[in-house]
Amino acid sequence: MTTKTHVLALDQGTTSSRAIVFDQQGGIVARAQHEFEQLFPRPGWVEHNPEAIWRSQLRAAREALDLADLSPGDIAGVGITNQRETTLIWDRATGEPIANAIVWQDRRTADLCDRLRNAGFADTFQQKTGLVLDAYFSGTKINWLLEHVDGARERAQRGELAFGTVDTWLIWKLTVGRVHITDATNASRTLLYNIRTGQWDDELLEHLSIPRELLPDVRPSSEVYGETDPELLGTAVPIAGVAGDQQAALFGQMCMTPGMAKNTYGTGCFMLLNTGNKPRTSKHNLLTTIAWQLGDEVEYALEGSIFIGGAVVQWLRDGLHMIDSSSEIEKLAASVDDNGGVYLVPAFAGLGAPHWDPYARGTLVGLTRGTTAGHIARAALEAIAFQTADVLEAMHADAGMDITELRVDGGAAANDLLMQFQADVLRVPTVRPKVTETTAAGAAYLAGLATGVWTDRKQIAAQWQVDRRFEPTMSDDRVHKLRERWLEAVKRSRGWEPTAG
């Protein structure tokens, strides 16, 4: 075991880059966070400046180390967790991106997904990758960049360009271009990786016209991949753990056995159910994904991806100016006894699981002259819980497992009103841990396991503690009526846009 007892987790998210220092007890020593600009060049398009991602992440890392009053030499390793599916391509020689990153929320490739589906390839993609053919994933975004950036395809074929999801980009920058890798969890979100063979798949690459020369090496989620350049953090620190944000949260929540589930309430909402060492094919439009790979051992999960979760609160704040800060939403929603018949379907970027409708759009129904800001705020929070209930129902049908509790994390998990309503509509307890930074914690644990901070998962699991448990209190009849009206509202949001974007 190492004598170093601290781990630095880099949590690169959709709207901000964060860095958290954890001690050996899993406690938070220090944290720093920096937002960066969201770019919306056209309706349905979402982009990030790759250099803005990198600058904000490096700044957060340096600040967290300063706040922790630790030298870089005190850090056993760096763990990375990232917004998944967001797609970057850069020049191998210069490190210069060829275009902005295309963000996971972006819908510009919905028509390409339609063409592939109409050509009969949907089953092939699902069987090999566990994913549905949707613009959400990286593969079609890579294709778009190769088709629309001058000379990109030819340069890619010559081996001059590198593709990466955000983890790959950060590792490239941290190692000054020495390491071009991703881990199995991120690879499993690209539409290019065969989760059964553990390899990039030539047939899928051909369907999407993507040269293999672009791709990073795929590694386990916990091992030493390389070291940070000494000039970046003050000394060379091992980079020792990587997982996509939702898989990292599943690991951080210590959902280690089949049947354990978590939901992360971030920009989107992502529910994962541990299904063990065999991939389960979904019949209800869920995703089969790699939960993590430790050594040669691969574990799998079912996932339901909800595109707009906490982002609906951001919209009330920034778009409608109904609140000045996200934390005010709970008080506003509590100003009314119920939703007053108002339902908000936040399909701003289409609908994810279990509907997968890229042409759905946001819908607000049930308005009357008596509708107040409180009703709309409450409908927004309830929408997060209703979407989660839709996913849990599909998950139960696919897995055939009784889910006895839902472990929750992410920013909106701090909202007691939402967590109680979530427990009510799920009809299972919602359990919030003391440390809700479970995404970053998962990355830290993966890095700490590789560098000897922790000996095994059992040692880490013993540190997981409950903050509050929300028990269902609403009557079954009331829940049924609420969900019935919600599903009617969802129907009205679907197929609104005749074409993507």
Q: What is the 3-state secondary structure (H, E, C) of 10-60?
A: EEECCCEEEEEEECCCCCEEEEEEEECCCECCCCCCCEECHHHHHHHHHHH
Determine if residue 198 is labeled as part of a ligand binding site.
no
Read off the tokens for 147: 């088709």
317 is in an annotated binding site: no
309 is in an annotated binding site: no
267 is in an annotated binding site: yes
- Give DSSP secondary structure letters for 389-436: HHHHHHHHHHH------EEEESGGGG-HHHHHHHHHHHTS-EEEES--
Instruction: State the DSSP H helix or E strand holding residue 126, giving kind and residue range, or none if neither.
Output: helix 122-129
| 16 labeled binding residue | yes
Was 245 annotated as part of a binding site?
yes
Write down how long the chain is.
Answer: 501
User: According to the annotation, is 411 in a ligand binding site?
Assistant: yes
SS3 per-residue string spanning 440-495: HHHHHHHHHHHHCCCCCHHHHHCCCCEEEEECCCCCHHHHHHHHHHHHHHHHHHCC
Confirm or deny that 14 is annotated as ligand binding. Answer: yes
Q: Is 314 annotated as a binding residue?
A: yes
Q: Is 221 annotated as a binding residue?
A: no
CA 170 to chain centre: 16
Residues 6+ apart with CB under 8 A from 491: none
For CA atoms 440, 398, 306, 90, the dihedral sign is positive
Compute CA distances 209 → 136, 202, 272, whole Å.
18, 10, 31
Q: What is the CA radius of gyration of the chain?
A: 22
415 is in an annotated binding site: yes
Is residue 2 a known part of a binding site?
Answer: no
Q: Which pair of tokens denotes residue 45?
A: 């398009």
CA dist., res. 302 & res. 312, Å (int)? 24
Which segments are annotated as binding site? 14-16, 18, 84-85, 136, 245-246, 267, 310, 314, 411, 415
Which segments are annotated as binding site for ATP? 14-16, 267, 310, 314, 411
Which segments are annotated as binding site for glycerol? 84-85, 136, 245-246
Which segments are annotated as binding site for ADP? 14, 18, 267, 310, 411, 415
Which segments are annotated as binding site for sn-glycerol 3-phosphate? 14, 84-85, 136, 245
